[in-house]
């Protein structure tokens, strides 16, 4: 890259006036420092991002430390109900929350495609900052790289999250027993439909909105109240609720049974799923999770979920059974149990 700089890039004046990200922004010089200081770092509050050293000092943490990392690639970068910035914060916060940890710190690593409008970058960074603040987590370290046009889809983000375990329980599918109840925190399929409709320009009104939201507060209350009767929880992201159930079945060796008539779904999501021929169980969520709880705690768990989530309608959707043949079973229509497939490779509108 360094040997193939165009004349325009050698002229700092023209570069600094550019309204798009250029390769020179990633070259490590003054432009890069200015990009980071003027467009990124200041938004995270003085003292949080420690740009003058190569590593952030987190101090002593009270309790066992949880660490997670995730990369965010979404097309389009902006969609109703969120953007890649909210996802990058919520996703990692939720990974910590679902493991039973309290999220404290995030890193923010950006891979920018040459040509990305700086206004878009600003908007994403603003959204990262606001989301982190709302979640009560601090962005403590970061990195920025620029790749040539065509080498990325606008922008990729990686966030690594650090948290502490404040409770003894560790969330694991190994805690699940036959007879446990399966609970869903709210209406399903919202994020996947929002992104699909935006990406494929499927005009719908209202446009489907993502459920992107942080789950650490509700997770903490569930943990505190239910104790060991909260077996495990997982946010139903890629592959939707079906993916979580398949993972749990595999990890626990038991069967997950779902009553297809009990799945909470908003009427607008239902309409879109019917219209496009999608099964809402396979559609991604970003602020909705599945929990396995001891059966006598179902009502209490539902009450906690109800009090925390703005959209409401948490539901008990099924239970854990001894495994016979199929790992995941669903009852619909006539009531006979059917094996539920693993999520398909790609969620696409169909006509057949």
Partner 1 sequence: MKYLDEYRDRKTSRLLVEQIRRLATRPWVLMDVCGGQTHSLVRYGIEQELTGTVEMIHGPGCPVCVTSTELIDFAVALSQRPQTIVASFGDMIRVSGSGNSLLQARSRGGKLKIVYSPVDAVELARKNPELEVVFFAVGFETTAPATALAVFHADALGLSNFSLVAAHVRVLPAMETIMEMPDNRVQGFLAAGHVCSITGYEIYKPFVAKYQVPVVVTGFEPIDLLEGILRSVTMLEDSQVVVENCYGRGVQRMGNLFAQSLIDRVYETEDRDWRGFGKIAGGGYRLRSQYAGFDACKKFTGMFPQDSIAATECRGADVMSGRIRPKQCPAFGTTCTPESPLGAPMVSSEGACAAYHRFDSFAIEIR
Partner 2 sequence: MCLGIPGQVVRWINRDATFAKAEVQFAGVCREVHMACVPEAEIGQYVIVHAGIAICLVDEDEAAKTLAVYKLLESFAEGSDEVPR
Residue 185 Cβ, how far from partner 2 at the closest point, in Å? 20
Which of partner 2, partner 1, none is residue 151 near (CB under 5 to 8 Å by kind)? none
Helix (H) or strand (E) holding 157: strand 155-165
Which of partner 2, partner 1, none is residue 346 near (CB under 5 to 8 Å by kind)? partner 1
The footprint of partner 1 on residues 263-282 (CB under 8 A) is 270-271, 274-277
Residue 337 Cβ, how far from partner 1 at the closest point, in Å? 7
Can the peptide bond before residue 158 be classed as cis, meaning omega within 30 degrees of 0?
no
Q: How far apart are CA 99 and CA 89, in angstroms?
A: 16
Please report the DSSP string for 164-181 in residue order: EE-SS----GGG--TT-E
**250 in contact with partner 1 (CB under 8 A):** no
Residue 149 Cβ, how far from partner 2 at the closest point, in Å? 34
Which of partner 2, partner 1, none is residue 7 near (CB under 5 to 8 Å by kind)? none
Candidates 133, 144, 136; CA nearest to 108 is: 144
3: left (phi over 0), alpha (psi -120 to 50) or beta: alpha
Pick the closer one to partner 2 by CB: 244 or 330: 330
Q: At what angle do helices 267-276 and 190-199 cross, to 10 degrees?
A: 50
Q: How far apart are CA 25 and CA 162, in angstroms?
A: 29
The footprint of partner 2 on residues 251-310 (CB under 8 A) is 266-272, 274-275, 277
Whether 263 and 273 have beta carbons less than 8 Å apart is answered as no
- Per-residue interface string for the shown chain with partner 1, residues 184-203, x marking contact by CB under 8 A: ----------------xxx-
Pick the closer one to partner 2 by CB: 59 or 267: 267
**How many positions of this chain bind partner 2 (CB under 8 A)?**
21
By CB under 8 A, name the one of 118, 147, 164, 204 that touches partner 2. 204
């Amino acid at each position: 890259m360094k040997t193939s700089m165009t004349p325009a890039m050698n002229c700092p004046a023209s570069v600094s006036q550019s309204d798009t990200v250029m390769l020179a922004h990633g070259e490590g010089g003054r432009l890069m420092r200015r990009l980071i200081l003027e467009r990124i770092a200041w938004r995270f509050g003085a003292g949080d991002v420690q740009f003058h050293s190569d590593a952030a000092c987190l101090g002593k943490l009270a309790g066992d430390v949880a660490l997670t990392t995730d990369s965010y690639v979404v097309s389009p970068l902006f969609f109703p109900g969120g953007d890649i910035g909210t996802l990058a914060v919520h996703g990692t916060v939720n990974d910590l929350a679902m493991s039973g940890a309290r999220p404290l710190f995030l890193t923010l690593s950006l891979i920018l495609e040459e040509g990305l409008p700086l206004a878009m970058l600003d908007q994403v960074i603003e959204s990262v900052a606001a989301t982190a603040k709302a979640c009560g987590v601090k962005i403590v370290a970061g990195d920025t790289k620029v790749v040539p046009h065509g080498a990325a889809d606008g922008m990729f983000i990686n966030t690594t999250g650090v948290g502490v375990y404040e409770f003894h329980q560790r969330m694991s599918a190994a805690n699940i027993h036959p007879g446990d109840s399966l609970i869903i925190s709210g209406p399903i399929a919202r994020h996947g439909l929002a992104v699909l409709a935006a990406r494929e320009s499927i005009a719908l009104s209202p446009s489907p909105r993502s459920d992107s939201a942080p789950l650490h507060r509700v997770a903490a209350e569930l943990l505190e109240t239910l104790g060991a009767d909260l077996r495990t929880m997982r946010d139903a992201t890629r592959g939707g609720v079906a993916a979580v159930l398949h993972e749990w079945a595999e990890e626990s060796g038991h069967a997950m049974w779902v009553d297809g008539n009990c799945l909470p779904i908003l009427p607008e999501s239902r309409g879109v799923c019917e219209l496009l021929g999608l099964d809402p169980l396979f559609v991604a969520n970003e602020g909705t999770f599945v929990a396995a709880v001891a059966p006598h705690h179902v009502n209490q768990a539902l009450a906690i979920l109800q009090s925390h989530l703005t959209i409401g309608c948490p539901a008990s959707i099924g239970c854990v059974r001894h495994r016979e043949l199929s790992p995941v079973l669903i009852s619909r229509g006539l009531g006979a149990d059917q094996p539920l497939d693993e999520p398909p490779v790609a969620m696409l509108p169909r006509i057949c």
